[in-house]
Amino acid sequence: PGGAVSKINQDLAIAIYPYQDNKATGLFGVYDGHGRVGEQVSQYVIEQLPGVLAEQLAEKGDDVGMALRNAYVNVDESLSDHVDAAVSGTTAVTCLIKGNHIWLANSGDSRAIISRQKSKSAALKSVDLTRDHKPDCPDEMRRILQMGGHVTPAGANGSPSRVWHNLRGLAMARSIGDHAAATVGVIADPEITEYDITDDDVALIVASDGVWELLGSQVVVDIVSNIKSLDPHEICDAIA
């Protein structure tokens, strides 16, 4: 009271191009750490995930979705050997672009969207490429309840829905880490989606809920529409 508190920024990202020395391939992602040492969890993920994914891609061949899933699970399993992740974790939304195709792996409530313009005179429209894993999503809540967890709904004051374990509330149903919450159905397994890039697509935007809790997908795309140069730094600064 009457003072200020400094907090560690626990959000981290990767932007690797070319990925695996392939100029047709890029790897992009956002990892929003939370909890006591959430910044250590997100740091571990950005350091380990690209290499583990490369190993899985070599093993799984054309099954990119399975390679992404296995990479998330493997990183989550090895995490506890390096970080106390009992009550700390990170969201993880990862986009692997090869040519004109995107594979996306999402655990948590960070989000990837596309801004699309049907014609030069048309307004940009947002297309969500991933789904936010909130505890009160029907299928997520079903799993949590089956595991003996308890979910409270989102509040009218803007507070998020939460899944509870040992008097701790977590505002997402999936994450890497949060191993204590795994006992009540919080899982690292990502939801895999795919998307074909078209000539109508203007920009891929990947962000944590530090953006999405305050700005809807379409609002963010409207911001992009005002950046005529489409310079990534300008877009990021404008959104922030």
Residues of the chain falling short of pLDDT 50: none
* Residue 1, pLDDT score: 59
Token pair for 197: 């890039």
**pLDDT tens, residue by residue, 183-199:** 999 999 999 999 999 99
* Residue 5, pLDDT score: 72
